[in-house]
Amino acid sequence: MKSVAAHITIPEALLKEMDEQAQREHRNRSEILREAIRLYLEEQRRKNIEEQRMKRLLQGLEESAGSWKDEAHPELREHSDAAQLRKDLWKQDQKGIAHHSQ
């Protein structure tokens, strides 16, 4: 990839810290800055992906709002029914995990 020079300004204290780190790693400023920029951009891409996932999840929840019908789930009429279902599902998951790890 072709490199292009870019002029930037940064606080002296940050430059000093960067130079000290570069010296410890036997690298130069440009290498440190390139890595910092790459890491920043990767993090921004990751955040963007997470934001898109959250938007899709929220959209799905909005689209399915009102689709639950109590008549279709008589086994979950009471709060304690849901708690018991959660416990049962947890036990099933743990059994499956234990089985796969053997």
CB 22 within 8 A of CB 31: yes
Please give the mean pLDDT across all residues of the chain: 89
pLDDT value for 102: 65
Residue 67 has a pLDDT of 77
What is the structure's pLDDT at 88? Answer: 87
Q: According to the model, what pLDDT value does residue 48 have?
A: 96
Report yes or no on whether pTM surpasses 0.85.
no
Residues of the chain with pLDDT under 70: 101-102
Sign of CA dihedral 22, 26, 29, 32: negative
Cβ burial of 12 (10 Å; 0-12, 13-18, 19+) is exposed
